[in-house]
């Protein structure tokens, strides 16, 4: 099984800050099979980034994804109040499909 470890599990940042979340895989995965999701409190998750770096239609351009192999990152270039959420990475390279443990983002 491919384990995904996200860091940090929690972060607190100010509006306008640049935020980076890391997702490390226990074994190499194709970048085509890595996605990022945002889950706002009480809501279902929504996709932000897929194929490691492709921005989902309608998602603000302050979100970006990068990485390959075993290390991937999600960056929010300038944090906004509405970005209060938990963020998850996911691999769909092999079964069982797996999610990272999540990164909860708080606005200072």
Partner 1 sequence: EVQLVESGGGLVQPGGSLRLSCAASGLIFSDCVMTWVRQAPGKGLEWVSVVSERGDRTYYADSARGRFTISRDNSKNTVYLQMNSLRVEDTAVYYCANWGNRKFDPWGQGTLVTVSS
| Residue matched to tokens 């999610």 | 99
Q: Per CB under 8 A, does 11 bind partner 1?
A: no
Residue whose C-alpha is closest to residue 72's, from 48, 39, 40: 48
Q: Per CB under 8 A, does 46 bind partner 1?
A: yes
| CB 19 to partner 1: min, Å | 19
Task: Please state, in angstroms and as integers, the Cα–Cα distance from residue 2 to each residue in 20, 23, 27, 68, 103, following that order.
Answer: 22, 12, 6, 15, 18
Name the segment binding partner 1 (CB under 8 A); options: 10-18, 63-71, 73-81, 90-98.
Answer: 90-98
| Nearer residue to partner 1 within complex by CB, 15 or 69 | 69
């Amino acid at each position: 099984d491919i384990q995904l470890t996200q860091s940090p599990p929690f972060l607190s940042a100010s509006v306008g800050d640049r935020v980076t979340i890391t997702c490390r895989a226990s074994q190499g995965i194709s970048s085509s099979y890595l996605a990022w999701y945002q889950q706002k409190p009480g809501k279902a998750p929504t996709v932000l980034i897929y194929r490691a770096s492709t921005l989902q239609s309608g998602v603000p351009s302050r979100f970006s994804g990068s990485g390959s192999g075993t290390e991937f990152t999600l960056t929010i270039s300038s944090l906004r109040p509405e970005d209060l959420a938990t963020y998850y990475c996911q691999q769909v390279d092999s079964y069982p499909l797996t999610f990272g443990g999540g990164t909860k983002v708080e606005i200072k």
